[in-house]
Amino acid sequence: MHMHKYEKIWLTFGIACLFVFLTVIGVSAFAEGKQPPSCLTTIDPEKVDQTPPFNKPGLVKTGDNEYQLNIVVSAFAFTPNQIEIPKGAKVTINVTSKDVIHGFEVAGTNINMMVEPGYINTITKTFNQTGEYTILCNEYCGAGHHMMTGRIKVVE
């Protein structure tokens, strides 16, 4: 097969570029054992219902004014989706997904996490003001995406 000289040069150049890109991506993605942010804890997404603390989702008192809020996320619901938190409580929120990637955003706060199957995502927040906050899924996850909501009530 006859190949034009320039065609060969560009083909070689193209392949070389591909290798450079793949190397850069590979090194930056896996160097230092990087993982998605705060996704350091893993969980079997098919056994969420049997795995503590998600076998008993909800608010758990862990100390003086300290709580753990464990929420199971699935298509298309947060469990639980109505949560009452005492004002001033320091709450560590743990979320995990049983199926696809969802979002966990509490509107009007800095709480905004990706919820990935296989991982537990965590954020700690002190609720200093009474009021109602809406929980939203902000990752498109299917037909019922827009129905995925919940409510946090911070009470006196």
Q: Is 59 in the site for ligand CUA (CB under 6 A)?
A: no
- For ligand CUA, which is the closer residue by CB, 71 or 141? 141
Q: Is 48 in the site for ligand CUA (CB under 6 A)?
A: no
Q: Is 152 in the site for ligand CUA (CB under 6 A)?
A: no
Retrieve residue 23's tokens: 């190397």
What is the C-alpha to C-alpha distance for residues 117 and 88, in angstroms, rounded to an integer? 31
Out of 89, 91, 113, 137, the only residue in the binding site for ligand CUA (CB under 6 A) is 137
**What's the distance, CA 49 to chain centroid?**
18
Lay out the site mask for ligand CUA across 70-109 (x = CB under 6 A, - = otherwise). ------x-------------------------x-------
Q: Exposed (0-12), middle (13-18) or buried (19+): which is 135, by Cβ within 10 Å?
A: buried
What is the SS3 assignment for 72?
A: strand
